[in-house]
Structure formats: C-alpha cells, structure tokens
A and B are shown apart, each in its own frame.
Chain A
Amino acid sequence: MTSNLRQLTSKPISTVFKSLAYLALICIFIFPFFWILSNSLKTFQETMVFPPKVFPEKPIFSNYVEALKRMPFFKYLINSITVNILILISQFIVIIPASYAFAMYRFRGRGLLFTLVLFGFMLPQQLTFVPIYLMFGKLKLLNSYAPLVLPFAASSFGIFLLRQYFMGIPTEIIEAGYLDGMNNRQIMIYLMMPMAKSALASVALISFITHWNDYFWPLVMTNTQRVRTLPLGVAALRVTDGTTEWNVLMAANMLLILPILFTYFFAHKQIKEALIHSGIK
C-alpha cells in the first residue's frame, strides 16, 4: 500500500529529473559541435564579445573562403587524401595475406609471430617516433610520403580483424573449393576475398578515421608544407602569440570534421561493430 503510494507521488519528479539528465547529457556532447558551427558563421567582432552570443547575428560564410585562402588548404587536402589512400593500399597488401596465414595455416612459430602482432598493437607509436624519424632521416626520406605511410602498413588492428573474420568462414566452403579443383591461391582470391568484403570495409573505415584525424605523426615526421596534412594546417591557424581569429579557425575545423561526420552518417553501424570487435576479441 505505502509502496504504491510512493510510486505514485515520486513518478512525476523522477520523470522530470530523468528528462533533465538526458537534456544535459545531449547538450554536453553536442554543444561543442554546435559551437564550432555557430562561431564559423560569426564575424570576428562577434567572437570577441563577453558574454558570448550563442547564435551569430547574421550568419556569414566568408570565414570558409578565408580558411581556404589562409592555409594552402587544397595542398593539405590533397596530401591528406593521398596519404590515406596510400596507407589503405599498403595495409591491404600487407594484412590480407598475413591474416589469412594466421587464420588458415598451422606452422612453426605461429604463436610467437602472433605475439609480435599483439605487441605491435600494444606499443604506442608515441614511444618509437624518434628512432623511426632517425631511420627515415638516414634514408633521406623525411618530407616524403614514406614516413607517413610505411609505418602503418603492418596494421596490427587490421590483422586482428581480418584474421577473426577468416576464422569464422565455414570449412565446407573451402572443401567445396577443393572439390571444384581450385588450389590454395585460387581459394584465397576467388572464394575468400569476395566474402571478406565487409571486413575489409571495416578495416578501411577505421584506417580512414584514424589517419584522417592524425596530428601527432605528420607533425613529427614532416617539416615542409609539401607533404603536411589537413589537421596540421588547421592547428597552424591558431596563433599562440597574438589574436587568433576563432571564426576562421572554426570554419577550418568544420572542413576537417565534415568528411568524418559524413562517414559516420553512412556507416555508423559498421564503425561501431569494428571498434567493438577489436576491443573485445
């Protein structure tokens, strides 16, 4: 009786409280993005008022034009795209056969070699960037695409993901291939690869998100505009000694995040699944 009464009286209050909690949560995570958009449409004077205005008085788009002019935007954009494509190609060349071998063959040293892959997964590149920089310096390859691409070719993440996928393919399919007179290579190319399309797409998505956003690696491996990528261009728009034009900077940020948001919009399920698989194994 009393518990019924309590339920009746406490319900509206808890509903209000719950709705407020949801509202707060969504504001906290969405507002910064709204703030980027809103400031990218303000004039410089509008960004410098206190207290700040949530909406621009009259949205202007000239900041975007300014952002394109301010840094060699298209140079950076082309570098970003090139680096991402080269990383993807090199990853596919390296990880497809590797993950296939781990999943399908039993051989001496398999455990040890897989431990090496695990180790590569665990070891942050923030530890080894100085030696890698020196290596590329010795080869006179700094300020080329090589140091931005090659260290990522043997992606441990990709090997994990694909290996798991290959292991899940039923044996019957492979046996059917043998019955049709295919050899191992034909089975890999004509039977397994078409089936692995979605796993390869997952690898490509995660690779794109990681390297499109990467700031640290291109920062330490390059020092000319010739091969620098978009995140470096955006970060360089912030002036540490002087006045930063936040409206232009936020417009540049919009250009940096739009491709990612598009990708998320069209492939959010696959992105999440790939991340969960890599995490839980």
Chain B
Amino acid sequence: MKRKDSENIRSRPNSGSPLKIKHGLLVPYVMLLPAMAGLGAFVVYPLVFLVRNSFTDRSMLRKNPRFVGLSNYVELFHSQEFLSVLKNSLLYALLFVVFSIAIALLFAVWLNKPDRFHSFAQSAVFIPYIVSFVTISLVWLWLMDPQYGLLNSLLAVFKLKPYPWLSDVKTVIPSLVLVSVWKYVGYYMLLLIAALQNIPQSIYDAAKIDGASGRAVFLRITIPLLTPSLFFLLVVSTTEALRVFDPINIMTQGGPINSSSVFVYFIYEYAFKYFRIGYASAGGVILFLIIGILVAIYFNMLAKKVHYQ
C-alpha cells in the first residue's frame, strides 16, 4: 500500500511543475470537491442565474417570472438614468485607473529606499488600503463638508473660493475618485515597489556605463521592465473602479441628481428598493460584459507589448 503511494507521486524535475499522479485516481478530485462546489454555487451558478433573470420580469414581489426577451435591455438603453449611470461609471473608472496608477508609480520610484524613514512613509501611504471604506468614506465626507469641512476652511486660509466637492454635479465624481485613489494608491505602490526591487542592479549599472541619462534609464529600462506589473494594475484597478459601491452609498447616495450613481449602486437600488430583479440583472450583465471586454482588450495589449525579463 505504502509502496503504491510513492509510485503514484513522482518527484518532479527541477522546475516548479507539480508532482505527477497516475490518472484515474480519485484523490485529487475528492480534495478539490469542496472548493469546486463553492465556486460552482457562488461563482458559476449565480452568473448563469443573473443572465437568465435578465431576460425575465422577475420581481421580489411576484412569484412567477415571465420571459420577456430583450425588453429589459431595450428599456435600459432608453433610460436617461441608466445612460448617466453608464457615463458616470466609465468616467469614474477612467479617472481612477489613470490617477491611481500614475501616482502609485510616482510614489514607488520616490519611496523605494531601504531606510527607516522611507519605509515609514510607505506604511503611511499603505495604511488606508487596509482600513474599512466605511471609515474612509465617513471621514472624507466630513472633511469635504461644504459648511464645516476642513478642506474648505483650508482653502479659505489661502483666500480661495470654497470648492463644492460632493455637492455639485460637476465635482462629485472627481471628489469620489480622490477618496478612492487615496485609499488604493498605497497597495498599487507596494506592488510596484516589489517589481522595482526585482529589476537587477546590473542592468542599471550597465546603463550607467553606457552613459544613459536618468530620464532615458526610467523610460527605456524601468518602465519596460515594469510593464507586467503595470498591466496587472490596469486589470485590477479597472475592476476595482467598476465595482465601486461603498463610498457612493455612504457619501452621496448617487446624488446630486444621479450624477454619481454608478453600476453597482444602480443594480442595488433597482433590486432592493424597486424590487425589479430582471431589470437590475440586465444592468449586471452589461457591467459583466464591460469588464470582460476591457480585460480582453488588456490581454490583447499584453500579448503585443509587455516585456518580460
């Protein structure tokens, strides 16, 4: 018996490839069963259920949903509200992705030094990432308060006009992005610092000997070698931005006049306040498609552009 076990598991070659076991044995399948049951029940099935619901008029209030074809989708694209949700989400995502990655890159290059002071600064930037979005939304709501907020009183010190922050249709999305970038930039910076530390010093030394300028080194060496990480951040930050909910629900409730309502908030409202599951699900399917298409585009870019060492 014992003999058989050791025949089944063979030692692997030097690479990291997994140990091998003869086919037909049930052991790994049994070990994977709970995980696959979980993924099946809470990832695959809900997605199928979501798509199916989007073609019905399912409601929390009625028992038997009817098949209604594409009418939920037709209604969505004729709804002024949904179109502004679409616009708000994409604007939010664009601003978040650009600023969070750019600032994270700046901080990573700036703070990537081993001494205590720099690691303290890194921690300061990182901590908002592990603090609840509830706390962060509430404190920034208070800082941005038009009447009693600290930010406007700071502006007053410099004799500047008060800024409307969350209370104006034009400034609400940038203000929310500011808060989200503040929360996430430390994590993105951390990933980029780890990537920077993986670049061998010898490459920099060689560039120095060749007399490359600091800017050339950054653009020709650092950035290309960071592209795998930057690509990963592009995917992560896009998903993060498109699934945003907490600060919207806590800080603005989609207002003023729907100017900060985004996808997940829209789905939440239609499902739980207006009980229109079918309609809300159609919104969910569109969000799923948007995320899927963006990720596919990124992967396409990756295949062409990324430099792996």
- The answer to whether A and B assemble together is yes
Cβ of B187 within 8 Å of any chain A Cβ, yes or no, is yes
Instruction: Let me know if B214 is at the binding interface, CB within 8 A.
Output: no
Decide if B6 is an interface residue (CB 8 Å cutoff): yes
Q: Which residue of B lies closest to A268 (CB)?
A: B123
Interface of A is mostly: helix
Pairwise interchain contact A116-B125, C-beta atoms closer than 8 A = no
Q: Tell me if A183 and B253 are in contact (CB < 8 A).
A: no
How many chain B residues sit at the interface, stated as a range, is: 35 or more
Q: A126 with B134: in contact, given A106-B18, A134-B277 (CB under 8 Å)? A: no
Is A272 interfacial (CB-CB < 8 Å)? yes
A26 in contact (CB, < 8 A) = yes
Q: Tell whether A257 is near chain B: CB-to-CB under 8 Å.
A: yes
- In residues 118-150 of chain B, which contact A (Cβ within 8 Å)? 121, 123-128, 130-136, 138-143, 147-150
B 257-296 to A, binary, CB cutoff 8 A, 1 in contact else 0: 0000000100110011000010011001001100100010
Given A29-B125, A102-B18, A159-B35, A128 contacting B43 (CB threshold 8 A): yes
The DSSP consensus for interface residues of chain B is helix
| Interface contact B288-A127, CB-CB below 8 Å | yes
**Bound Cα distance A261, B124 (Å):** 12
What A residues does B124 contact at CB under 8 A? Answer: 25-26, 29-30
- Quick check: is B156 within 8 A (CB to CB) of the other chain? yes
Q: Is A81 an interface residue (CB 8 A)?
A: no
User: Which chain B positions have C-beta within 8 A of A276?
Assistant: 190-191, 194
A50 & B148 in contact (Cβ 8 Å cutoff): yes
Residues in chain B near residue A30, CB distance under 8 A: 124
CB distance from B165 to the nearest CB of A (A): 14
Listed A/B pairs (30) with beta-carbon separation below 8 Å: A25-B125, A32-B139, A94-B38, A97-B30, A97-B35, A101-B28, A101-B31, A102-B32, A104-B9, A105-B31, A107-B21, A122-B295, A126-B267, A127-B291, A130-B284, A159-B35, A171-B19, A175-B6, A181-B2, A183-B2, A184-B9, A212-B132, A213-B134, A219-B249, A231-B132, A234-B134, A253-B135, A256-B132, A264-B130, A279-B194
